[in-house]
Amino acid sequence: MQKILGRSGGISVRSFAKDVRFGVEARSLLLQGVNILANAVATTLGPKGRNVLIEQLLISPRITKDGITVASNVQLKDRRLDMGAQLLRQATNNTNNDVGDGTTTATILARGMACQGMHVLRQGQVNVQLLREGILEGSRTVCEALGEMSQSVDTIGQVEAVAKVALNGDERLADLIGDTILELGENGVILVRESHGPNDEVKFQEGITLPCGYCSPFIATKSGKDSRLELGNCLLLLTLAKIDQVEQILPALELARLREQPLLIIAKDFTSDLLKTLVLNHLQGRVQVCAVKAPGFGDEQRLEMQDLALAMGAHLLEDASWLADLSGEDLGEVVAAVVDAKETHLLQPIKINEEQMQSRIQHIRELIDEAVTEEELDRLNTRLGRLQGRLATIYVGGTSDLELSERKDRFNDALHAVRVAISDGIVPGGGTAYLRCIPALDKLPPAKVMEHQVGREIVKDALRLPCYTIAHNAGVNPNEVLHRVLDGSGNFGFDAATGEFGDLVARGIVDPTNVLKAAMADAAGIASLLATTEVLITKQPIKPKILKNQITRDLARLVGM
């Protein structure tokens, strides 16, 4: 029971009871929630998938065809049904976190296996644990079959084909991603940002660009709209300390004076008095000095500065006391530095430790593989791009906030799909790859127990659903499409965009192998979990009138005692 202070200052009481359901009834309630979520998500699958409009508080509704976005916005009023939706949403989240795409496919597979599993359990006495083992065995067999049919991505055309599928057939945007990867290389870093106009554009950045500019405009060598400071053959001092007095940086200033080189100082912060001294020193022509505040905050700032030190061949001086013992080995050096009011560009470091650099790059790539949130992934990709010395930013345009948000979602999905495809290969798309896995299940040795065989059949039936759903969303007879594709072999499948049949790989309709593997594994895990659920416990609020009557009866009983 919760006590809540009301507007009048009195105490109102909100009480919750626990609703407990068992067996078939519990699973039936969960399945209702699963079906509601799956129906909403399934409408987006394929090139002819439909849009979903999502209400947003105080701002315009959001329009999307992104499965994970739809799933994350479904919250059902009935808590019992919502628990089923939450479990299914877990499958989509797992797939999205693992490979960044395939969430709609995972939802459709999980719903299909869950429905079949529930149907089997309603028929009679079945060992649920053995049924679960059969489903998971079938899932592993499918993943192995997908691996065997996988083809490597060898051309930019194949990269564009993967992107085109993820972009729901938008060839122009797929070409933009392909051209960007061709320019950067397969390990290049691509960031997606919102444009301020209706058009898409790509900007490439050479060297390292920091999102922080000079602390004082009085040192700029060019004024006006393009105000900036250009430093050639520049020394670089990096520190996490706040610099209060000019005496702290005298060793660095002296080294710069002796070498007749400009000095760029990137520090945690500077006092206003120190900045005035540096400006005066600069104007008098003693040593050309520029002060820049380090990017980021807290632990993130430390990591970015450590990256920068490695990339620039400098030592990161973490404490102010270290500045007094500074030597030439502590300073980095670049061919050129360009600093304006908002950004600092560092070009061509002269001395770096290549072995340490590659080790750091590999470490960040491992962190990227483990990243959970979009924000974390974006930060890590930015760090990786800086270390590699080159990155591209795709600015996504749109004529409205709705269009901009939807197109940005599609761009991110396409980039995830492309990265996975380059890493692990591709298979024919359109649901065809799953259909080609059915013979692998048929070739398995006879099951020792009936439940194992039933579990395999549940997986086999689910393999038909992606192709069926794509055809249904395209407005054609899904049963006829399934029949024709199953009668074919290899890459033969249905092109929903044109309504034709043919070699899907040749047509550029492909899926990343690991996306389909992840979708199958996650779907089987959630479906087997639903099948083994026996008890459902949820909070149910007690209506005020019922609660009042209960309290009255309790008081009367106490008085009577």
**DSSP codes of every residue in 102-153:** -HHHHHHHHHHHHHHHHHHHHHS---HHHHHHHHHHHHHHHHHHHHHH-B--
Instruction: State the pairing for strand pair 390-396/344-349.
Output: unpaired
DSSP letter (8 states) at residue 553? H
Return the closest-CA partner of residue 514 out of 433, 410, 409, 432. 433
286/282 Cα distance (integer angstroms): 6
For 497-551, where are the E strands, in sequence order?
500-503, 510-512, 535-541
Give a three-class secondary structure readout of 331-346.
CEEEEEEEEECCCEEE
Return the closest-CA partner of residue 78 out of 34, 120, 42. 34
**DSSP codes of every residue in 415-465:** HHHHHHHHHH-EEETTTHHHHTTHHHHHTSPPPSSHHHHHHHHHHHHHTTH
pTM: 0.69
Q: What single letter denotes the amino acid at residue 52?
A: V
Instruction: Output Rg (C-alpha) for the chain, integer angstroms.
Output: 30
CB 214 within 8 A of CB 290: yes
**pLDDT computed for residue 123 by the predictor:** 83
Return the closest-CA partner of residue 316 out of 343, 367, 345, 356. 356
Q: Treating both helix axes as pointing N-terminal to C-terminal, what angle do 156-166 and 171-184 enclose, rounded to 10 degrees?
A: 140
Return the closest-CA partner of residue 304 out of 271, 268, 269. 268
What the chain holds in terms of domains, given with CATH numbers, is 21-151+428-537 (1.10.560.10), 156-205+389-424 (3.30.260.10), 209-352 (3.50.7.10)
Question: 342 burial class (0-12, 13-18, 19+ CB within 10 angstroms)?
Answer: exposed
**pLDDT computed for residue 228 by the predictor:** 76
Per residue in 444-455, is it b (16+ CB within 10 Å) or e — as a string?
Answer: eeebeeebbbbb
**pLDDT computed for residue 116 by the predictor:** 93
Q: What single letter denotes the amino acid at residue 517?
A: K
Residue 62, C-beta contacts closer than 8 angstroms, at least 6 positions apart: 53, 54, 56, 69, 402, 405, 406
191/193 Cα distance (integer angstroms): 7
**pLDDT computed for residue 108 by the predictor:** 96
CB 280 within 8 A of CB 253: no
205/444 Cα distance (integer angstroms): 53
Predicted confidence pLDDT, tens digits, the chain (561 residues): 444 444 444 444 455 678 889 988 898 999 999 999 999 999 999 999 999 999 888 778 888 888 888 998 998 998 899 999 998 998 888 887 777 778 899 999 999 999 999 989 888 788 999 999 999 999 999 999 999 999 998 888 889 988 888 887 778 888 998 888 888 777 677 878 888 888 888 888 777 888 888 888 776 655 544 567 888 899 999 999 888 888 888 889 889 889 999 999 999 999 888 888 888 877 777 788 889 999 888 888 899 999 989 888 899 988 877 888 888 889 999 888 888 888 888 887 887 778 888 888 899 988 888 887 778 888 888 888 778 777 788 888 888 777 787 788 788 888 888 888 888 899 999 999 999 999 999 999 999 899 999 999 999 999 999 999 999 999 999 999 999 999 999 999 999 999 999 999 999 899 999 999 999 999 999 998 888 888 989 887 766 655 556 656 666 666 665
**pLDDT computed for residue 347 by the predictor:** 80
**pLDDT computed for residue 284 by the predictor:** 77
Task: Give bridge partners of residue 501 from the DSSP assignment.
Answer: 494
**DSSP codes of every residue in 148-196:** HH-B---SHHHHHHHHHHHTTT-HHHHHHHHHHHHHH-TT-EEEEEE-S
Q: Please provide the distance, in angstroms rounded to a whole number, between the alpha carbons at the two ends of the chain.
A: 25
Token duo for residue 363:
């470490």
Token duo for residue 519:
């979708």
Name the strand (E) or helix (H) holding 17: strand 16-22
175/171 Cα distance (integer angstroms): 6
The CA–CA distances, whole Å, from 85 to 62, 108, 435 equal 21, 13, 27
Residue 119, C-beta contacts closer than 8 angstroms, at least 6 positions apart: none
Question: 28 burial class (0-12, 13-18, 19+ CB within 10 angstroms)?
Answer: middle
Per residue in 269-294, is it b (16+ CB within 10 Å) or e — as a string?
Answer: ebeeebbebbbebbeeeebbbbbbbb
27/21 Cα distance (integer angstroms): 9
509/48 Cα distance (integer angstroms): 14
The CA–CA distances, whole Å, from 433 to 167, 200, 372, 385, 426 equal 19, 33, 28, 34, 10
